[in-house]
Structure 1
């Protein structure tokens, strides 16, 4: 077929475009640019309808995968804190304290008097939380197998109520499995009204097995550190079974 029919078909497509109408099919012989159509020339790289549909299908599939990956990453970011906490509590990694063993364990414990440990306390506040947070004592001395009580103080200096929630860790990390909290404020929402100030107790003990661990032979000081973040109202993180 000569150039005449092709030019006639392409001219019809150009007229449709000029009138703002959609072109339902390409010029005969494949998709061509308006400049090539005006010259009656065929594109050297024809793009058929079937190829166009396949290209669009692949794009939709790729976009679906990208969207699913984005949703998964957002979900994992929300789950990261409780999952990390539960994992560390089970393994003792990351300086997470061990689980208390109840009143029976406290009754049967025998203090290891010859092993005196210094416990220091640290307090941090995330940049997004407008609280004043500090330990009421810088350090105390304890022995494995003996309970101890320490206090932190938190104040909301703003003119609006704020809910905070804290995480914690122990340094050195290896000592975390022996640091048992009987009562504390970690992973629990703390509501402070404007200008309200509260005392937050931490009741704990160092397991007597600490003194029997060769890896703890040179450890004479332990740091308990808490960090407060702002929590959304109504958000509840899963709590450890011993709290």
Structure 2
């Protein structure tokens, strides 16, 4: 469920980056577009963190993971990601008219207001901090697990590898957008390192989650539909040419015929 939420958040943020805001050159979008962007973005950020914690506990502490990540807890995590995103909007974006995040058509990038409120919302540093924690959690989990754990938990190991690459991609996109773009002066270069990088990441991240889990569902369905063959062995006794009723059984060659009883 958390993975499905994650893919939906990616598609939502991708739509805000690609359409319809960036198609307008002479239109300053409403404040609500920036609020939606922060809602999807922060929810996606903490979704990465929750998935990283899930991968860690499922591989290093399997019994504890089954108790912690129950159906009710997963629903609570989904609601909490949206709640955290809403808190970033309500405090203080909805209370102040001078605190906002908008897309600037002149520079082709998203801008936070230059007021004290805008400077206080250090979302770029929060993004780098949480993304770094998520990546380090996945990396430390991958280093800590043994070959035996990978053999006994193949699905969880694949999910960990998937989340490791996605967390690294998120960290690289955040670094490109919040750090590297500040060193460039050309408008096209800034646009490429901010909007285009995030568009590519959200597209690949959301599709990767959907394709991976859809592939798992197809494999599980295929295994359930496979016919099961049961091999039985029938004992066939071929007596020798000169055997008698009182001859020992060791004089009789024994053959086993393999029959498929499916």
Taking CA–CA contacts closer than 8 Å with sequence separation of 6 or more, which of the two structures ends up with the larger relative contact order?
Answer: 2
- Structures share a fold, TM > 0.5? no
TM range (shorter): under 0.3
Calculate the TM-score normalised by the size of structure 2: 0.23
- Computing the radius of gyration over CA atoms, which structure comes out larger, 1 or 2? 1
The two structures have a TM-score, normalised by structure 1, of: 0.25
Structure whose residues are more often strand by fraction: 1
